[in-house]
Amino acid sequence: MLLSYKRIKDLYDIANHLRQDVIEMLVEAKSGHSAGPLGMADIFAALYFFVLRHNPKKPNWDERDRLVLSNGHICPIQYAALARKGYFPLKELKTLRKYGSRLQGHPHRGSLPGIETTSGPLGSGLSQACGMALAARLQDQRHRVFCLMSDAEHNEGNTWEAALFAAKNRLSNLTAIIDRNNIQISGFTEDILPLDSLRDKYEAFGWHVLEVDGHNIEEFVSAVYEAKSVFEKPTVIIAHTIPGKGVDFMERKYAWHGVPPNKEQAQEAMRQLRSLQNKIISEHE
């Protein structure tokens, strides 16, 4: 067992706090994306508070793992994780999308510690991650590169070019994580441009493929460690998530892809998340 019972409880607790941070950020900004950040909270809690080798006090540490956020629109959840890990003050989260803020609507490398790449145009992240992984190998560096992607950005052709490149170069130090939440800004992915089977596609492209429940932290962490044991090819983890997770009126509704809650909706969302917080505590006592 990779995680102790207490560590699992702590990670779920962190994930729920991250969701609350996201709601507070979005209602303050009056713009931004709700569904994706809430859906990826468990994975970001696992990454920043267990999986990644990183040091908030030395954000440019050479031996740190690199995290590339290709689907940059879900950056509120990354900002929340970075702040709670100590990269910058929590109070700064309330500046999301405000004029002059370091917390831009899409991440900008150089503006904020812990941000590895500038992202915005979907489909670019895997190519950037491939470059980082190949560079690490050429320089005999041992850090790993993680690339988070949306499912819908697989509509972009350069994602598949990068997938071919990673397999050809056997980039086993690269782990891609797909947020398989089945929505995009204008509808459900399978209605707009069907993606399934992503497993079959990536296997055909020469990748090691794992599928997990993106809300089962222990299952996700186990998949990450399995990826570390694969030496001949890159690994992709297809994480099945619920967009808007934790807020019942947002869950599985594509209309919340790029919409923030208003004040009343935010109050209800926070009520639900605090109730969930109490449930997490009671279930793991």
Q: Report pLDDT digits (tens) over 275-284.
A: 987 776 666 5
- For residue 282, the model assigns a pLDDT of 65
**Strand ranges of the sheet holding 174-180, from the earlier edge strand across to the other edge:** 66-69, 145-150, 174-180, 235-240, 208-213
Domain count, the chain: 1
Pair of tokens at residue 161: 């070019």
Q: Between 5-29 and 217-228, two packed helices, what is the crossing angle to 10 degrees?
A: 100
- For residue 1, the model assigns a pLDDT of 56
**Strand, coil or helix: what is 73?**
helix
- For residue 278, the model assigns a pLDDT of 74
What's the mean pLDDT when you consider all of the chain? 95
Residues 9-29: what's their mean pLDDT? 97
Q: What is the pLDDT of residues 154-211, one digit of tens each?
A: 999 999 999 999 999 999 999 999 999 999 999 999 999 999 999 999 999 999 999 9
According to DSSP, residue 65 is labeled: P
Share of the chain above pLDDT 90, in %: 93
Pair of tokens at residue 133: 């992984």
Q: What is the pLDDT of residues 86-100, one digit of tens each?
A: 999 999 999 999 999
Amino acid of residue 285: E
- Structural domain containing residue 197: 5-283
CA gap 78, 82 in Å, rounded: 6
- For residue 283, the model assigns a pLDDT of 65
Q: Give the DSSP per-residue string, 123-165.
A: T-HHHHHHHHHHHHHHTT----EEEEEESGGGGSHHHHHHHHH
Which CATH number does the domain housing residue 266 bear? 3.40.50.970
Q: What is the pLDDT of residues 23-54, one digit of tens each?
A: 999 999 999 999 999 999 999 999 999 999 99
Say what the pTM is: 0.95
Q: Which residue has the tokens 């398989």?
A: 180
The answer to whether the beta carbons of residues 137 and 127 sit under 8 Å apart is: no
First to last CA, the chain: 19
Task: Band the pLDDT of 149: cuts 50, 70, 90.
Answer: very high
Q: What is the pLDDT of residues 51-91, one digit of tens each?
A: 999 999 999 999 999 999 999 999 999 999 999 999 999 99
